[in-house]
Amino acid sequence: MRDDRWNHNTHYHPLALRHAPQARTALDVGCGEGLLVRRLRSAGVPRVTGLDVDAVQVELARAASVGDGGVTFVVGDALEVLDGDAFDLVTCYATLHHLPLEDGLRRLAALTAPGGRLVVVGLAGARTPADVALSAAAVPVAAVVDRARGVWEHGAAVTDAREGYGEVRDAAHRILPGVRWRRHLYWRYSLTWQAPA
């Protein structure tokens, strides 16, 4: 079945949406045109903020969310705005590789309220033979699924990842004690972390 909002990032939205019932507030860092923000609201989060450095994408997000008083969008750099704010659920999809890795992880942790959840789905480079093999295995799967489902072109900036999977995993374990790291199909990894209460 084709889905006009499916791609290799939106495929992993359920990783974040499963935490929506416990959240009163949520922040989507790198929200683009706001699809995950709208999905978090539909999943029952009363107040959701979307943050993106791209003003054009944020205007698209605002236009798609007109009339929803529970949604706010902010234009700015995740490392520089929302100081002092903290959210029950923080999501960051295909955005961490646009930031300095360790600074980005620390900032995401700071934005997560005590006891709250952080969900990161990101991209990294294949640096080891195992990474290369897993990345190669995704090629035929993606070719079939992309054709069957259709791939949504979101219009946001695309940048290659600087760090390898191992570098991201090691930094996450240092900065986010107790983080759950997983490698996924479609050249993605996820980090799921609960902030200390």
pLDDT band at 1 (very low <50, low <70, confident <90, very high): very low
**CA separation for the pair 139, 186 (Å, rounded):** 8
pLDDT band at 49 (very low <50, low <70, confident <90, very high): very high
Percent of the chain with pLDDT over 70: 89
- Render pLDDT for 110-168 as a digit per residue (tens, 0 to 9): 999 999 999 999 999 988 888 888 788 777 666 666 666 766 576 666 677 889 999 99
pTM comes to: 0.91
Mean pLDDT of 16-41: 97
Task: Give Cα separations from 6 to 12, 29, 72, 74, 79 (angstroms).
Answer: 10, 19, 24, 24, 28
